[in-house]
Structure 1
Amino acid sequence: MDMNHLLAAADAVVSLDDAIDGRQAAARKARAPYQMMRPSPKPKGQAIALPPPATEPSNLPTSTTPDRSVLQQATEQTVPVANLEAMQKLVPKEESPDVRIMDVKLTHKRPAEAEPVSQPAAKRGRSGRKYNEPPIWARLSRKNPRYDEQVRKYPSTAQSHQQQRVPPAAQPAITPRANGHHQPGPPVNGQTQVNGHLPADDNYLPPGIEGNRPWLENPPLDHDLLRVRHATRRPKWEKTIEYTMPVPDMQRALTDWFEMQLSQLSDITTDERVVEIEIEGKIGQILIDEQRLGLPIAVPTIVGPDWIKTKCHFESKMAEGQHAAMNKFLNRTTEAANPTASSGRGREPIIHTHTKQIDSFQPLSAAGFQALPESFRRHVHNRSDLKLRTTVDKASGKTLARIVKHKIADLHIYNPQGVYDCRISLNLEAKLMPPPLDPNPPDELLALPSAAEMVEPSAKPSPDREKDRLSYNHMDVYQIDLTKVESKSGVGIRGETAYELELEVKAGVLREQMGLKFGGHVHGFDGVVAGFLGNAMVLMREGGARKS
C-alpha cells in the first residue's frame, strides 16, 4: 500500500502543531511587557522599590555607574522588607563592567540570601571583668558605718550620692500595657531605664533636702510617702484608701487608756508644787509562778489588766550587763543629738544629769493623811498603804523632797521579741510640805512605832534605798532614768543591789493637749502618746537581745 498519503498527513499535523505553538509563543511574547503592570499584592510590612524588568540587554545603559533614576524609581515601589537585602544585592557595584537588572518575583517568603547569619550562642557565666572601684550596685549607703572608709579609698564613689535626681512630681508617667506590665519610660537625667525601672538611687527627696537630717526641714516632709512615690514611680501615691495610715492598735489602746485615766483625775490641780500626776513606764518582766510570761503571739501587745492582776506580777529589774549596755546606748544617743556636733546639727539636745540620793520611808499617821491635799485624798481607797518618802542628797545631806505616792492604774505590754516587758503606771504624788524642807519630818505626820518597836534614841532612821541615777531628759517632755539601787536592811548593812530602767512623760503636757483635743482644737495629744510608746519600744528592744 502506498503510505505517502499518510506521511503527508503526518507532516501536515506537525506543521499545524508548529503553527499553533508559534502563535502561542508570539502571544506570550506580546504579553510579556505587560506582566509587571499587574497590581502587586499588598505588602504586610514596610516595603522598598522593585526595579523595572529588563526586556533586552541592549536597552540598558552602558555606564558602569548605576542609573540613579532607576534607584529613585525603586524607592517608590513596594516590596516586603524581608526582600530588602536581596534587592540590594541585585544592584551592581560601581566597579562592575556590566550592569544587569534581573527580574524579581514578588513573594511573601524571605529569600535565602536575606537570612541572618546565625552566630553561636554566647556562653553565660562570669564576665571576668575587674573593677578599679566598687560598681554602683556594690557601693555603701551614707548610713553605713563603713561609708567614710569607702570614700577615703575610692573618692569618686562619693560623686554618685551628690547627683541630684528629678523630683517625684516631675517624673514621666508610665503607660500600662494590656498584659499588666509597664512600658519603659524615657531616660531620666540621661540615665537609661532598664526593664521599665529607674536605676537604684536613694536620693528620692527634692533638691536641697538632706535626708539624714530631717529635723532641719521646716515644715517637715513625709519621707515615707516620698520614698514610696519615688520607688513606684507614681507621683500621686496614697498610703491607704483614706490617704492616711490608721493609728496602730496598741497606740490607740494606750491613747484611750490615757484619756480615760486623766479624765477621772480632772479634779487634780494643775499646780505640780501641790500634786503631780506621774506617768512612768518601767522596763522589767511579767512573771507568772516566778517564770516569765509566755504567750503564743509574735509581736508586742497590751495584756488585759484584769487577767494580769489575778495571774501575774511585774518585776522591774534588769541584769547588770544589760544595764551597762543601756548606759552606753543612751550615751551614744545623747552624743548624736548634741547640736554642737556635726551629726546633731539642729537637733533638740538630750540633757544628761547624774545624781546620788537616799530615800527613806515612814508610815503616814492620821494627821499626816489629813495634811494631804483634798483632791489627793479623794482618790485614795486604802490609807494604810500610804508612806512618806523623804529624799536627801547624798553629798550635801539636803532634803530634796517629801512626797506621798499613790498608784492609780497599771497597763502592761508583753514583748515576745525580747527579754523585757514594760509596765506603764499612773500615780499621784502629793508634796506634803512645800520647800524649804526640814530634814526631819514632824512627828505628828508619822505613825510612830510602839515602845516594843522603838530603836535606840541615839540611832538615826536608816535609809531604805540608796540611788545612783543617770537621767536623760529630751525636750522637757520625756525623761529616761537609769538607776542603780542598793537597799539597806540596817545601819551600815547593805542588802540587795538592783538595776532599774524607767521612762517618764510629763503629765502636764498630756493634760494640756487632751484639753485642746476635747475642745475641738488642733492638738498634739496623739503625737505625745505615740512618742512615749515609741521610746518604750526602743528601750525594750535595746535593753535585751531579741529572741532567735
Structure 2
Amino acid sequence: DAKAKQQQAQQAQQARQASIPQPMAIDSDRATTPAKRKLEDRDLSPKEEPEHQEKRARPSGVNGSHASQSVRGSQPPSSPVVQARRKRRNRAQPPVWAQDVRELNNKMPNHANFVLQKRVHSHINGKPEASNRTSRHASPESTRANPPAPPAPPVEAGPQDILGAWEPSITGVKPYEEISRRVADFLFVNIISIPDMGEIISRNIQFEIEAKLGTLIDKDTNHRVDRALDSECVLQETQRVAFRSSMTEAQHKYFNDFLNEIVKQTHPRAPNGGNRVQVHYKHRREVDRFFELPPELQARIPGCIRSRLGSRMKSVRARVTYDQKTREVLAKIIKARVADLDIHFPQCPMDCRISINLEMNWDGPVEELEQLGNHPDRQPDRNKDRLSYTHGHYQVDLTQVTHASSGPGGAQRMEKEHELEIELNPTVLVDQGRRASGGQPHRYQELVEGFVDNVRVLARKARDLQ
C-alpha cells in the first residue's frame, strides 16, 4: 500500500509539472538578459525578430491555424488558457510562432500572429516604425513630432442657413456683374485679340493698363458729368467728355494715410497679417523730361506704334525719367494711346478713366534725345514724388507732381498736382486672356474683377472726406 501511494504521489507531481509551461529555448539562451525587458522586445512578431534569435512562446488562441474552433469561439483572449496548453503537449511539433525561423527555412505563414502585429509599438529597438493606431491622449513626443495643423478658415455660411431652399437665380447660376464684364471685354478687344500682337511681343513693347481717379468733365457745361443716375455706370464714347486726373491735397493726404494703414495691416507680423497678401510700399522721387522727336528719329518708330499715334505723329515725344537725386536714367519711353473707358460714380466725389497704352523703350542713346532739349515748345519737366503700393497683380500709385507754369505777365510759378492711379499687371492679363481664348483653365474674369474692385474701394473711400 505504501508503495502504491508513493507511485500515485509521483504521478500527481508529474501531472502538475506537465501543466506548468516550460521555458522556451529563447529564454534559456538569454540567461544574462535582465528580467525586465523592453515592451517592444516582448511584442515583436515573428516577421520582426532577428534571424539569429529563437522564438518566444506566444499567448494561445492567437494562431488560428493551431487552435480548434471551440477554443477560439468560447475563450476570450485575456482568459487563462491552461486547457489549450495541455492539448498542445500531444502535438508532434510546437506551433509555428514557437518554432525557430531557421527550422522553418524562412517559410513564414501568410498570416502569422496577426493580432500581435497590430499590437507592435511605434518604436522597436530605437527604430521608428509606422503605426495606424492612434491614442486618445497625445504624448509630448507625438505632439512635438507632429505639430497640430493650422485650423482651416471658417466656411462662410450661405443664405440657405436662414432662407432655407434658395439658389442665386432661377437657373441656379449667379449672373455676372455688368461693369466688370464690360471692362473685361474692353481689355480683351483692345489687347488680347488685336491683329498686331505678334509684332508688339517681338519688339518687347509693353502694355500699360491703368485706372486713374479724377473727374469726368462734360465739355458742353465744363462741369462734372450729370446723367441723372444713382449708381455707377460705364459711359459711351461720345467725344464730349474730358477727364481731369487731379485731386485736392486733402484727398491726397487722406489716401496716403489709408494706404499706409493697409501696409501695416498686411505685414506678416501684424495680427491676422499672415492671412493677407502683403502690400509692399516703395517711395520714389523722379524727374520726367520730354523731347519732341524730329522726322529722322520718328522713322525709327515701329508700325504698331505709328498706327496708334495717328494725327499726333507730327509731335511725337519721348519721355526720359531720371532719379531725382542721382540723375540716373531710369527709362526712355515713347507712349501711344490705345483706348479709354470712362466709369462714372455718381454717389462718389471721384470718377475713373481706364486707359490702355503701348510703351516702347527707345533703343538709342539718351544723348541723342537730350540734345533736343533746346526746343522752344518743349514741355516743362515734371518732378514726381511717388508712393507705390503693390498688392499682388495690382499697384496703386499716389503721386505729387510739381512743375513750372507761366503766370500773369509771363512770370514763372510752381504748381502742384496730385494723382491716384491703379495699375494692372499686363503680363498676367495677357496670359490669362490667352488661356481664355484658347479654352484653357483661366482666371481672366476674376483678375479683372479685382482690378475694378480696387477702383471701387478707393473711389468710395473718398466719400469719407465729403
Please give the range of the TM-score, normalised by the shorter of the 2 chains: 0.5 to 0.7
| Matching residue of 2:178 | 249
Map 1:309-458 → 2, pairs under 5 A = 309=239, 311-382=240-311, 383-433=313-363, 438=366, 441=369, 443=371, 446=372, 449=375, 453=376
CA distance in 1, matches of 2:452, 2:183: 8
Shift of 1:439: 5.8
Name which of 142, 158, 163 aligns with 1:232.
163
Shift of 1:489: 3.6
Q: Is the 8 A contact 1:479 1:503 kept in 2?
A: yes
Name which of 387, 399, 418 aligns with 1:483.
399
Name which of 217, 229, 238 aligns with 1:287.
217
SS at match of 1:523: coil
Aligned pair in 2 of structure 1 residues 466, 534: CA closer, same or farther (>3 Å)? same
Q: Is the 8 A contact 1:268 1:275 kept in 2?
A: no
Shift of 1:305: 1.0
| Matching residue of 1:536 | 455
CA distance in 1, matches of 2:167, 2:465: 33
List runs of 5+ in structure 1 lacking aligned partners.
1-206, 212-220, 455-460
Name which of 378, 389, 394 aligns with 1:472.
389
CA distance in 2, matches of 1:347, 1:282: 25
CA distance in 1, matches of 2:203, 2:389: 22
CA distance in 2, matches of 1:272, 1:534: 33
| Matching residue of 1:495 | 414
Q: Is the 8 A contact 1:357 1:466 kept in 2?
A: yes
CA distance in 1, matches of 2:463, 2:357: 27
Task: Name which structure has the greater RCO, CA cutoff 8 Å, separation 6+.
Answer: 2
- Relative to total residues, which structure has the larger strand share, 1 or 2? 2
Q: Is the 8 A contact 1:407 1:427 kept in 2?
A: yes
CA distance in 1, matches of 2:362, 2:198: 15
CA distance in 2, matches of 1:504, 1:272: 23
SS at match of 2:283: strand
Shift of 1:265: 5.7
Cα deviations across residues 365-390 of structure 1 (Å, max 9, x unaligned)?
A: 12222222343223331202421111
CA distance in 1, matches of 2:369, 2:222: 38
Shift of 1:499: 0.6
CA distance in 1, matches of 2:380, 2:202: 26
CA distance in 1, matches of 2:202, 2:461: 32
| Matching residue of 2:435 | 516
Q: Is the 8 A contact 1:285 1:314 kept in 2?
A: yes
Q: Is the 8 A contact 2:290 2:379 kept in 1?
A: no
Aligned pair in 2 of structure 1 residues 286, 269: CA closer, same or farther (>3 Å)? same
List runs of 5+ in structure 2 lacking aligned partners.
1-149
Map 1:293-308 → 2, pairs under 5 A = 293-306=225-238
RMSD after superposition: 2.7
CA distance in 1, matches of 2:456, 2:198: 30
Provide the aligned length of Structure 1 versus Structure 2.
310
CA distance in 2, matches of 1:339, 1:439: 45
Cα deviations across residues 447-495 of structure 1 (Å, max 9, x unaligned)?
A: 974xxx59xxxxxx895210000001111x11110000111248x9542
Aligned pair in 2 of structure 1 residues 295, 388: CA closer, same or farther (>3 Å)? same
TM-score, structure 1 normalization: 0.53
Q: Is the 8 A contact 1:339 1:349 kept in 2?
A: yes
Shift of 1:270: 6.0
Aligned pair in 2 of structure 1 residues 271, 208: CA closer, same or farther (>3 Å)? same
Cα deviations across residues 211-246 of structure 1 (Å, max 9, x unaligned)?
A: 4xxxxxxxxx6x3xx231222345xx4222232211
| Matching residue of 1:31 | none
